[in-house]
């Protein structure tokens, strides 16, 4: 565990000393879509290896970025969640995520790549103003690359929920990974993608209208 610090009096160097090692920021990203158990994290981060996951979690916990939480008796289990400092870090990552979408991500996932729909929802959950979300109460299923993620909007907040929490879905949104990349990178507006069928919407008219409104506001913002 020898700490290899940069030893520089600089915010970036200090941030990277804490969270710049391999896998660490991806762990934070995983918790951006909700609290998760040890094995969930392992499943979503293919290649990390249990030993490294364990030491990363311990380090993040020591530095107050994540915390362990015991669940109620029925599911006598433990989940990891972001602390307030961790949430702030998560928000600081959003511009980096957007840069990656624009300049680093391939258009089409290679066969070896894992594609998780939750990752594509980070922009919406962490970068849509409460104003835009105000008055909306709906649950959406996003189908991307054969898998689904669930987004709940309520009280001006959007967050990713598990299939169990999702309950009834008001609308289903279907798109493929290349459309996610194009929209995320700003090369294609979500409104246009809906218009030309690359994003398909099915379900309640009200929920669909709300989502299109969010898309329109997001385009205007960037």
Partner DNA sequence: CGGCATCCATTTTGATACTG
Partner DNA sequence: CAGTATCAAAATGGATGCCG
For position 176 contacting a second copy by CB under 8 A, the verdict is no
**CB proximity list for 57: less than 8 A, separation 6 or greater:** 27, 38, 41, 66, 80
- Which 9-38 residues touch DNA, going by CB under 7 A? 21-23, 37-38
Q: Which is nearer to a second copy, 106 or 206 (CB)?
A: 106
- 79-108: contacts with a second copy (CB under 8 A): 85, 88-89, 91-106
Q: Per CB under 8 A, which of residues 5..24 are in contact with a second copy?
A: 6-22
Give residues 41-100 in contact with DNA (rule: CB under 7 A): 47-52, 54, 57-58, 68, 77-79
> Cα torsion at 138, 157, 95, 27 (round to 10°)?
-90
Q: Which residues pair with 208 in a beta bridge?
A: none
Residues near 2 by beta carbon (within 8 Å), at least 6 away in sequence: none
Chain-centroid distance of CA 146 in Å reads: 18
Binding mask 23-52 for a second copy (x = CB under 8 A): --xx--x----------------xx-----
d(CA 202, CA 208): 7
Name which of DNA, a second copy, none residue 96 binds, using a CB cut-off of 5 to 8 Å depending on partner kind: a second copy
């Amino acid at each position: 565990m020898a700490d290899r610090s940069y030893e520089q009096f600089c915010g970036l160097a200090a941030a990277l000393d804490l969270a710049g090692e391999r896998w660490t920021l991806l762990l934070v990203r995983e918790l951006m879509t909700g609290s998760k158990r040890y094995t969930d994290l392992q499943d979503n981060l293919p290649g990390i290896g249990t030993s490294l996951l364990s030491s990363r979690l311990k380090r993040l916990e020591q530095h107050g970025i994540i915390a362990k939480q015991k669940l109620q008796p029925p599911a006598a289990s433990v989940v990891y969640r972001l602390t307030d400092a961790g949430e702030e870090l998560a928000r600081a990552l959003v511009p980096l995520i957007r840069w990656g979408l624009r300049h680093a991500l391939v258009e089409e996932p290679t066969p070896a790549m894992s594609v998780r729909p939750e990752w594509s929802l980070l922009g919406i959950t962490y970068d849509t103003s409460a104003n835009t979300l105000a008055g909306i109460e709906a649950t959406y299923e996003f189908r991307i690359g054969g898998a689904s993620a669930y987004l709940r909007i309520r009280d001006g907040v959007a967050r990713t929920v598990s299939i169990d929490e999702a309950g009834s879905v008001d609308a289903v949104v279907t798109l493929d990974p290349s459309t996610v990349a194009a929209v995320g990178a700003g090369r294609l507006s979500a409104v246009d993608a809906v218009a030309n069928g690359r994003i398909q919407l099915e379900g309640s008219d009200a929920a669909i209208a709300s989502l299109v409104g969010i898309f329109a506001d997001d385009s205007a913002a960037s």
